[in-house]
Amino acid sequence: MMPADTDTGTGPVTGIDSDTVTVTDPDTGHKTGEGARPLLPCPAMDNLLLRLPEILSQLIAFALAISVHESAHAWMADRHGDPTARMLGRITLNPIKHVDPIGTVLFPLMLAAVGAPVFGWAKPVPVVSRNLKNLRRGWAWVAVAGPASNLALAAAAVAVLLACKFTLPGFRPLLVSLLQTGAAGTSGIAAPLVYLLFSLALVNLVLAVFNMIPIPPADGSKLVMALLPGPLAFQYAQLERWGFVIFIALLWIGAFGWIFRPFVTGLVWILLT
């Protein structure tokens, strides 16, 4: 359960909820900032040019996230007997090797431009099932490797941010300022680094959660298929032809916001409390 009010170390109290940052005057009890900004690393600013630093930070974080994600798939497939992805050069942190024109370029740019969290997808890693030593176990490990690598990268970024929290004076008000006004609206030498680390943590967290949604062709569906009995797995796999339509429908009705909100709120709560 999230605390209603959390000491930011600046005198006033910053109340954290899933949507806004509010500041309460300890003498008058007056709250300011209610409904002002979502707790996301993509604040809505009038001038897109002013938001370029934060957009670039998010895109850098996203490029690293997908590179780690796809490399993990390729590495795990190779470990379980299929060298196809390795031979195609997919075990690399070079994002160009993993680019999908829509999922890696167009979609993230559109999300960044409208102030939404950046996420998307990369070119799928080819896995030849007959090469796997154990079909079910191999597919299960390959599917889990991508999201697990993103969670590990997110945890590493959070660990660095927590180190900054306890060693960097003014970290909490700096992070609140970044969440409210963005990288362009916050001064200080540490601001770009803190924003990049937060973007790295958030993008990797969102990407891991997104990929574990059990709708084909997401990684979560591959894990489900590896665990289901043969006939049920075959029937479940038929959903893949409708997978893109289902994802667009979920995006249209705002379902991803419901899915991601607890994770985003939890991340911010960990860093500000």
Tell me how many degrees the CA angle 35-40-46 measures, rounded to the nearest 5: 70
Report the C-alpha gap between 219 and 77 in whole angstroms.
13
| Residue of 34, 54, 70, 240 marked active site | 70
Both tokens of residue 60?
């850098």
Known catalytic residue at 70? yes
Both tokens of residue 28?
């008058």
Would you call 193 exposed, middle or buried from its count of C-beta atoms within 10 A (0-12, 13-18, 19+)?
A: middle
Q: 7 phi and psi, to 5 degrees? A: -70, 125
Both tokens of residue 131?
């090469």
Report the C-alpha gap between 78 and 84 in whole angstroms.
7
Report the C-alpha gap between 184 and 53 in whole angstroms.
6
Would you list the DSSP string of 24-83? E-TTT--EE-TTS--SSS----S-GGGGHHHHHHHHHHHHHHHHHHHHHHHHHHHHTT--
Evaluated on CA atoms 37, 43, 193, 203, the torsion sign reads positive
The residues carrying an active-site annotation are 70
